[in-house]
């Protein structure tokens, strides 16, 4: 028996949902019950009266329904949300046991909690809500999540909201940031795999730090011993400092942002690595062009997203190709290229095609060492392409004979 107002979807949209997609788009909408309001829960049905699931309804967004469940007659109440969040926490305890004080606890659709992100930095949770349904229930959600963590002996004191992302406007939501109820310091020093890093939850990128690269940074640490390493787009020094901690002979960290480099220098001092890492403020494209081949054994390319929509993918392709080709030209025989993309619109096939094209033009062969994605606290739901965005490659360079 259906307990939520109905939304009728066309055959095309139904096909996507049956494959596991969790978003129902407005262009597939046939009919919506007039009692439905943004943030309410709707059940999704085909024109032939087949039930497909239930989730948050939006009258504003292109995403009309964000599915929460595909089980008919599920009651989506406080107990339901509590169970989902308990599962998310238990999962993190399994895959992030060494980094539980600095990890993503809830990753939206990947945890079947669409529109909710929660990151932990020591005793503060930093949240981001991008759906009206979650916004309307946030008090209950925060109270429940804090209760789950505290019951498990976790020292969590406050919730800081980073609801300052433009995607909220599409849901008719306002932009703001600040503490929910109790307050705490907005800056803290986390320990990521034993490396101390200062995090600015109020002004830092994303929710304060790039948690999704923590496992990849360890890969760099493990192969850096004795190497001369260049870290491009270093930001606050994550890869550079891991390389230094791993015994790199020298590390040069480059970024265009003076404020990011100030934080990186502070992080180097926190870890006693200031004599190994040197910091350069420069445009990475220009800096790479100024170098002579053989200056570095390892080059890391971790740029910001070159594209945030499908409209600019080719422009991004050319940007990625330019820096990767130049890095390949600079590395000598046996050197290492570490390269990645954090844009979900630059899909894996396109990124790999770019690498092949850049290698051909640079006159090198690529020997793949590893290919990874985001850290497991950012799980990938295979039926939701939106949850798979980070591509991380480690390559060894061979010159064509």
Q: What is the pLDDT of residues 282-339, one digit of tens each?
A: 999 999 999 999 999 999 999 987 766 677 778 888 899 999 999 999 999 999 999 9
pLDDT tens, residue by residue, 51-102: 999 999 999 899 999 999 999 989 999 999 999 999 999 999 999 989 999 9
Helices (H), 3-131: 11-18, 78-95
What number is the average pLDDT over the span 170-180?
Answer: 95
Q: Find the catalytic residue in 103, 232, 340, 342.
A: 342
Q: What is the pLDDT of residue 344?
A: 82
| CA–CA separation, 253 and 237 (whole Å) | 7
Report the candidate in 376, 374, 372, 375 with the shortest Cα–Cα distance to residue 94. 376
pLDDT at 312: 76
What pLDDT digit, counting tens, does each position of 5-50 carry? 999 999 999 999 999 999 999 999 999 999 999 999 999 999 999 9
Which residues, in sequence order, are CB contacts of 269 under 8 Å at separation 6+? Answer: none
Token representation of residue 157: 């004191």
- Indicate the CATH number for domain 6-69: 2.30.130.10
Report how far residue 149's alpha carbon sits from residue 84's, in angstroms, rounded to the nearest whole number: 13
Fold of 210-399: Rossmann fold (3.40.50)
| 342 catalytic residue (yes or no) | yes
| pLDDT of 209 over the 70 cut | yes
Q: Mean pLDDT, to the nearest integer, of 154-177?
A: 95
pLDDT digits (tens, 9 = 90+) for 332-391: 999 999 999 998 888 899 999 999 999 999 999 999 999 999 999 999 999 998 899 999
Residue 180 CA to residue 51 CA, distance in Å, equals 37
Instruction: Report how far residue 315's alpha carbon sits from residue 322's, in angstroms, rounded to the nearest whole number.
Output: 11
CA dist 198 and 175 (Å) reads 25
Q: Please list the residue range(s) of the chain that carry CATH number 3.30.750.80.
A: 78-190
CA–CA separation, 115 vs 300, rounded Å? 32
The predicted pLDDT at position 309 comes to: 66
Asked if residue 150 has pLDDT above 90, the reply is: yes
> Taking the model in full, what pTM does it have?
0.94
Instruction: Please give the average per-residue pLDDT across 215-224, as a whole number.
Output: 97
The pLDDT, as a whole number, for residue 308 is: 66
Determine the 3-state secondary structure of 291 from DSSP. coil
Does the pLDDT at position 401 exceed 70?
Answer: no
CA–CA separation, 1 and 51 (whole Å):
10
CATH superfamily, domain at 78-190: RNA methyltransferase domain (HRMD) like (3.30.750.80)
Query: Which residues of the chain are in CATH 3.40.50.150 domains?
Result: 210-399
């Amino acid at each position: 028996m259906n307990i939520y107002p109905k939304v009728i979807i066309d055959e095309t949209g139904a096909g996507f949902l049956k494959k596991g997609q969790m978003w129902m788009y407005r262009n597939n909408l046939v009919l919506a019950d007039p009692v439905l309001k943004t943030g309410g829960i709707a059940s999704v049905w085909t024109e032939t009266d087949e039930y497909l699931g239930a989730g948050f309804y939006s009258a504003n967004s292109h995403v009309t329904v964000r599915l929460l469940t595909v089980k008919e007659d599920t009651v989506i109440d406080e107990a339901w949300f509590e169970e989902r969040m308990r599962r998310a926490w238990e999962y993190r305890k399994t895959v992030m046991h060494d980094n539980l004080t600095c990890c993503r606890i809830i990753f939206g659709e990947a945890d079947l909690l669409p529109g909710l992100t929660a990151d932990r930095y020591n005793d503060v949770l930093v949240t981001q809500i991008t759906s009206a349904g979650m916004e309307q229930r946030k008090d209950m959600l925060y109270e429940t999540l804090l209760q789950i963590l505290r019951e498990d002996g976790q020292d969590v004191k406050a919730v800081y909201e980073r609801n300052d992302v433009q995607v909220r406007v599409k849901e008719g939501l306002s932009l703001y940031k600040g503490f929910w109820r109790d307050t705490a310091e907005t800056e803290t020093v986390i320990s990521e795999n034993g490396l101390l890093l200062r995090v600015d939850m109020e002004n830092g990128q994303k929710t304060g730090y790039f948690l999704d690269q923590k496992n990849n940074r360890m890969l760099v640490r493990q192969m850096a011993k004795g190497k001369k390493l260049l870290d491009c787009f270093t930001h606050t020094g994550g890869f550079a400092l891991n390389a230094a901690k791993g015994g790199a002979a020298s590390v040069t960290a480059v970024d265009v942002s003076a404020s990011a480099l100030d934080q990186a220098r502070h992080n180097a001092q926190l870890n006693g690595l200031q004599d190994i890492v040197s910091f350069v403020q420069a445009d990475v494209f220009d800096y790479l062009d100024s170098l002579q081949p053989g200056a570095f054994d390892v080059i890391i390319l971790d740029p910001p997203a070159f594209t945030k929509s499908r409209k600019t993918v080719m422009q991004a392709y050319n940007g990625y190709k330019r820096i990767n080709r130049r890095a390949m030209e600079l590395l000598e025989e046996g050197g290492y290229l570490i390269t990645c993309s954090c844009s979900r619109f630059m899909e894996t096939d396109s990124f790999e095609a770019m690498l092949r094209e850049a290698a051909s033009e640079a006159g090198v062969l690529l020997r793949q060492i590893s290919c990874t994605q985001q850290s497991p606290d950012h799980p990938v739901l295979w039926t939701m392409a939106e949850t798979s965005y980070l591509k991380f490659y480690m390559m060894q360079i061979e010159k064509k004979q």
